[in-house]
Structure 1
Amino acid sequence: MFATSLSKVAFFFIAWAIIWLPIGVLVSRKIQCLPNRSLTTNQKLILLATLYPIAPLILWWQTRFEGLSFLDFGLDWQLSLAASFSWGLMISLAELAIVFGVEFKLDLIKWHWQNWQFLRALFLPIFGLSLAISFVEELVFRGYVIRELTIDLPYWLAATIASIIFALLHLVWERKQTIPQLPGLWLMGMVLTVAKIVDGGSIGLAWGLHTGWICGLTCIDSAQLLTYKQEIVWITGVDRQPLAGIAGIMCLLATPVILWIPNAITDAVMQLLN
């Protein structure tokens, strides 16, 4: 029954929260998170670094208990995983370059080229955290949650519900900034699900896409590589959040098309050869 699948998913998130809560409280005090104050990028990354290692441990325990493996969640440690990840990473970084390039041409942003030097110290830690965060989110949402829900539901409905949960849980960190992004976050979840389907059920391609988006945006923000000369909210997004504006949404909508192109070329070549 659907209630059984949903209750298992709910139990997973409740267990995750209960285990992390005391850790989160201690870390929040250490990094001086103040009530009614927005988290800085660094504070958020530190909290995520303490939260995310817990989820794979819970899933590992669950796989042992139910006789499953991470392969059931789309994680197969093969060379193809690395290839899919690399392809997704290149696509996502190229998309960000195009989005900000267009905004630059529209005279909406100003680049601070002198700040690129700061990336030498920032890039590796940001990339490492982006790699870990996106891995856990793909393993949980596109892997575990969809797998559990598809036991009782059609794949499209399971993906829709998983993407809704994915979007809503972002409210834990920043409600004011996240609310305008909820439709975009849901769409992002659906696009990453498409990536998983394109990748034959592996999370490698979705993991690469997700890593590139997080890493690219965090690097730009942390190194202060650009400032907005003017904010056209419907383009740049509310509070300059890409997923709350047309630029970010168009980037997401273009992704399934880009992912489809290699398959279309392969099919066309095979038809010509036959």
Structure 2
Amino acid sequence: MDSIAVNTFLFFVAWGVLWLPLAIPLAIFLKWRPGQPIEPAQKIPLLASLYLLAPLVIWGASQLEASSFAAYGMVWRRSLVISLLLGLGLALVGLGLLVGVQQALGWTQLKRNLTSEVAAEVNPPPALVQIALPLLGLALWIGWTEELVFRGFLVNQLHQGYGWVTTAAIASAIFALLHLVWEGRQNIPQLPGLWLMGMVLVLARWGDGGQLGLAWGLHAGWVWGIASLETAEIFVPTDKGKTWLIGRVGQPLTGAMAMLLMLATAGVIWQIAKP
């Protein structure tokens, strides 16, 4: 095992070890065990405790390597904010087009268009306007943390010994596989989609001249848009909406349309790239 693999492995081990004193009592309190399906009410506290530690672990790694957050692509300046907003806009426009196409083709429909018997619920989902702002804050935090870890620190580590394509492929594979921590085996069908998403986000960093602003915005925009639509339960699939096209419920990256969205986003990034 070479030094790059060892350093990468030790980083994630250190992160996990530091998290255990928080994770174990939280998991017991929330009645969750690794490998079991996880509910949002369980996932958010566990995720928050893990991600709160990420900047500390990366700071420690940067001190050992005589590096900095700026070297990992998180440079706090105006261009980062512009790239962040561009990424958010690109993600939301892409999701809007995806939703529009599925609606136009009859693969999904508005829930309010269902018969009252089918649509009636004791506890109706919250309105989109009620959840959008809180979810935006959560999406920005998740996007920032995951980009700093996977497209920042991890990409820098791997790029010391590999070319861009190999670096992107390995970093994206690790990014995808670590999602199994939360969802277990039921998230396996999403692994190809998560890997492709990781590849697009590495491309976004490259296209943004090494900064993480564009990747952060894309990541946060996708998380925000998908989480908002799913929480508000605005659309439901129809009989015309084949699973292989629109994805499984709660797993949009299992659908061919989401894959096409990732590829289309990569094409746009390639056109606006400024390496």
TM-score, structure 1 as length reference: 0.89
Pairwise CA distance, 1:27: 2.0
Higher helix share: 1
Task: Indicate the residue corresponding to 2:119 in structure 1.
Answer: none
Alignment of 1:162 with 2:171, yes or no, is: yes
Question: Residue in 1 aligned with 2:3?
Answer: 4
Matched ranges for 1:76-91 at <5 A: 76-91=75-90
Rounded Cα–Cα distance in structure 1 between residues aligned with 2:101 and 2:150:
32
Q: What letter matches 1:156 in structure 2?
A: V
Structure 2 CA distance for aligned equivalents of residues 32 and 175 of structure 1: 16
8 Å contact kept, 2:208–2:273: no
In 2: Cα distance, 1:27 partner to 1:220 partner = 28
Distance in 1 (CA, whole Å) between partners of 2:46 and 2:107 is 32
Q: Which aligned pairs between 1:1-274 and structure 2 lie closer than 5 A?
A: 3-33=2-32, 37-112=36-111, 118-230=127-239, 231-239=241-249, 241-262=251-272
Q: Which runs of 4+ in 1 moved over 4 A?
A: 34-37, 113-117
The gaps in structure 1 that reach 5 residues or longer are 265-274
What does the per-residue CA deviation read over 1:13-59, in whole Å, with 9 as the maximum and x for residues that have no partner?
01111111231222223334368752123432232111111111011
Greater CA deviation, 100-109 or 73-82? 100-109
Q: Check whether the contact 2:34–2:184 (CA below 8 A) recurs between aligned residues.
A: no
Aligned alpha-carbon RMSD (Å): 2.1
- Give the aligned partner of residue 121 of structure 2: none
Query: Which residue identity is paired with 2:260?
Result: M
CA contact (8 A) 1:45 1:129 kept: no
SS of match in other structure, 1:73: coil
Give the counterpart letter for 2:11 in structure 1. F
Deviations, residues 56-104 of structure 1 (Å, cap 9, x unaligned): 1011122223221111101100000000000000010111111111111
What letter matches 1:252 in structure 2?
A: M
Structure 2 CA distance for aligned equivalents of residues 96 and 26 of structure 1: 37
Q: Identity rate of aligned residues, in percent?
A: 39
Deviates most, 36-45 or 59-68: 36-45
**Number of aligned pairs?**
263
AA partner of residue 70 (structure 2): L
Partner amino acid for 1:106?
A: L
Q: Relative to structure 2, which stretch is displaced further, 97-106 or 195-204?
A: 97-106
**Deviation string, structure 1 residues 93-141 (Cα, Å, up to 9, x no partner):** 1111111111111212122369796233322221111111111111111
Change in CA separation of 1:164 and 1:37 when aligned onto 2, cut-off 3 Å? closer
Structure 1 residues 36 and 3, CA gap change in structure 2 (3 angstroms): closer
Residue matched to 2:116 = none
